[in-house]
Amino acid sequence: MSKHEHGFRDLEARLDVLRTRQLFRTRRIVESPQGREIVVDGRSLLNFSSNDYLGLASDPRIAEAFQEGIRTWGSGSGASHLISGHTAAHHALEEELADFVERPRALLFGSGYAANVGVINALLSIGDQVFEDRLNHASLLDGGWISRADFQWFEHRDMDQLRCLVERGADRLGRRLIVSDGIFSMDGDQCRLDELIAIAQRTESWLQIDDAHGIGVYGPHGKGTVDPARYATQDVPVLIGTLGKAFGTAGAFVAGEEALIETLVQRSRNYIFTTAMPAALACATSRSLKIVQQESWRRSRLTSLVRRFQKGVQSLELPVPSSCSPIQPLVLGGTEMTLSVARSLEEQGCFVVPIRPPTVPVDTSRLRITFTAAHSEADVDRLVDALNAAYTE
């Protein structure tokens, strides 16, 4: 037999291991637009598993701007930004995003994943150092590894350890980059931004904050965890925002000084060697950006939903998540237990996807409950009741 006929047996065996460990993932097929309720397997379920925090993913005004964009620009951008794909619509959105976060310039990327890997690799190489929180998003970790810089972890939000690590490497030549999520995606807690800034400044390191879950959600106009009223661009020289979560569209941006952005245009492979997002998507996001800024009721609604949920969980005598973001994880630990509670919730009409390793550390399987401005207080109460029933089972 040729080598190829044997080729995938090994893979099949590994897939079986995942199955027996209850770590095999399947994709649920959704038969409706994203929203408060989604249709899964023919059943309409209350949806507590999206990152559509402001409830904008199916907003008709944004859809209209998308359609108008297609009428103007067609469906495809046709080329990368450096060839002929960078339209006036992309350019306008970049300027609007830069104004929004009050930074000199912003640069669009196709996704947050691409932005994180692309930025770290444009900034670092062999001989440099990168310091990452252990719970950083996979794209930040991958970016650090691929860069070939010396990669060092610090324990989640452990600023003493970070300070030691950075100071120990401070006499080495080369660049230093400290990287953290703004809001951590699986825990919903916030980075210690003031301390990160202080450590970075004292050790002449760059600081990169990925505010995928904070942008649009935090601050008076949704400007994110790196509030421009409090922090200068130099405090957090590299800011990442994503557009597929609170903004309800897709893509990402990097915002910072001219020299940073121009370096990315010249050197970031994930920017250069990829087709620009459709111009119509930029038109849709421009519309979304206006709504994000104007409709602050969406953020207040989220805050009160989270408060109501936490009160409800407390009355069930379950551990209340310490997060005050719309990400409210109930960490159950075991995979089997988490799967069975999620199944029970679904039978009761609530869609909460269980999160298992390797997305989260071993023994911290959880229900990652998320709220959106599209939910009502009655929806929260229904979830709490369903949790109660699921636990007493």
Ligand X SMILES: *Cc1c(COP(=O)(O)O)cnc(C)c1O
- Minimum CB distance to ligand X smaller for 51 or for 364: 51
Nearer to ligand X, 53 or 113 (CB): 113
Cβ distance to ligand X smaller for residue 116 or 372: 116
Kindly state the smallest distance separating residue 194's Cβ from ligand X, in Å: 20
In the chain, DSSP assigns E strands to 37-40, 43-47, 105-109, 129-133, 150-154, 176-181, 206-210, 238-242, 252-256, 327-333, 350-351, 354-355, 365-370
For ligand X, give the closer residue by CB, 210 or 379.
Answer: 210
Closest CA to 124 of 83, 182, 177, 197: 177
In DSSP terms, which residues pair with 129 in a beta bridge?
A: 150, 176
Burial of 232 (0-12, 13-18, 19+ CB in 10 A): exposed
Nearest approach, Cβ of residue 240 and ligand X (Å) = 7
Residues at the interface with ligand X (CB under 6 A): 111-113, 116, 137, 139, 181, 185, 210, 212-213, 242, 244, 252
Q: How far is the CB of 364 from ligand X (least distance, A)?
A: 17
Give whichever of 288 and 344 is closer to ligand X, judged by the CB atom: 288
Determine which helix (DSSP H) or strand (DSSP E) holds 120, and give its type and residue range: helix 112-123
Range 158-171 burial, b when 16+ CB lie within 10 A, else e = ebebbbebbeebee
Catalogue the long-range contacts made by 314-319 (C-beta closer than 8 Å, 24 or more residues apart): 315/384, 316/384, 316/387, 316/388, 316/391, 318/387, 318/391
Between residues 111 and 129, which has the closer beta carbon with respect to ligand X? 111
The distance of closest approach from Cβ of residue 221 to ligand X in the complex, given in angstroms and rounded to an integer, is 21
Q: How far is the CB of 242 from ligand X (least distance, A)?
A: 4
Token couple for 392 = 């007493």
Four-residue CA torsion sign, 10, 13, 18, 19: positive
- Smallest distance from ligand X to CB 179, Å: 11
Half-sphere exposure (CA, 13 Å, Cβ side) for 356? 18
Minimum distance, C-beta of residue 247 to ligand X, in the bound complex (Å): 10
**Residue sitting closest to ligand X (CB):** 112
In the complex, minimum distance from the CB of residue 330 to ligand X, in angstroms, rounded to a whole number: 19
Q: Reduced to 3 states, what is the DSSP secondary structure of residue 99? A: helix
Compare residues 156 and 163 and give the one whose CB is closer to ligand X: 156
For the bound state, the minimum distance from the C-beta of residue 100 to ligand X, rounded and expressed in Å, comes to 17
Name the residue nearer to ligand X (CB basis): 226 or 386.
Answer: 226
C-beta of 100 vs 312, nearer to ligand X: 100
Per-residue burial over 123-147, b if 16 or more Cβ lie within 10 Å, else e, is bbeeebbbbbbebbbebbbbbbeeb
The three-state DSSP-derived secondary structure of 14-51 is: HHHHHHHCCCCCCCCCECCCCCCEEEECCEEEEECCCC
Phi (first) and psi of residue 146, to 5 degrees:
-65, -25
